[in-house]
Structure 1
Amino acid sequence: MVAIYDSTGVVVDARPRDVMRAEGLWHASGSVLVRSGDGERIYVHQRTSDKDIYPGMHDCWAGGVVAAGEDPTDCAVRELAEELGVTGVTPRRLFTSRIELPPLRLHMFAHEVRWDGPIVHQESEIAGGGWLTLAELVSKLGDPDWPFVPDGRIGFTMWLRMQ
Structure 2
Amino acid sequence: MRDIVNTDDEVIGQAEKGEIEEKGLISRVAFVMLHNGRGELLLHQRAATKRAYPLYWSGAAAGHVDAGESYEEAAHRELREELGIETKCRQVGKFYSEADREMVGVFLGSYDGPIKIEEAEVARVEHFSLERLSQEREAMQVTSFVDRSLPMVAEALKVTQDSA
Fold-level similarity (TM above 0.5): yes
| Alignment partners' CA distance in 2, 1:58 and 1:18 | 25
Structure 2 unaligned segments of length 5 or more: list them. 159-164
2:151 alignment partner, one of 140, 154, 157: 157
Identity %: 25
> Contact 1:61/1:152 (CA < 8 Å) preserved in 2?
no
| Alignment partners' CA distance in 2, 1:132 and 1:161 | 16
Report the equivalent of 2:84. 85
| Alignment partners' CA distance in 1, 2:51 and 2:17 | 10
| Alignment partners' CA distance in 1, 2:78 and 2:149 | 17
Report the equivalent of 1:106. 102
Deviations 1:17-72 (A, max 9, x none): 1222233221111111110034x211011111222321221112411110111111
Structure 1 unaligned segments of length 5 or more: list them. none
Residues 24 and 50 of structure 1: CA distance in aligned 2, closer, same or farther (over 3 Å): farther
How large is the Cα RMSD of the aligned pairs? 1.6
Which structure shows the bigger proportion of residues in helix conformation?
2
Report the equivalent of 2:75. 76
1:125 alignment partner, one of 97, 118, 121: 121
Deviation at 1:108, TM superposition (A): 1.1
Query: Normalising by structure 1, what TM-score?
Result: 0.88
Aligned residues: 157
Residues 117 and 27 of structure 1: CA distance in aligned 2, closer, same or farther (over 3 Å): same
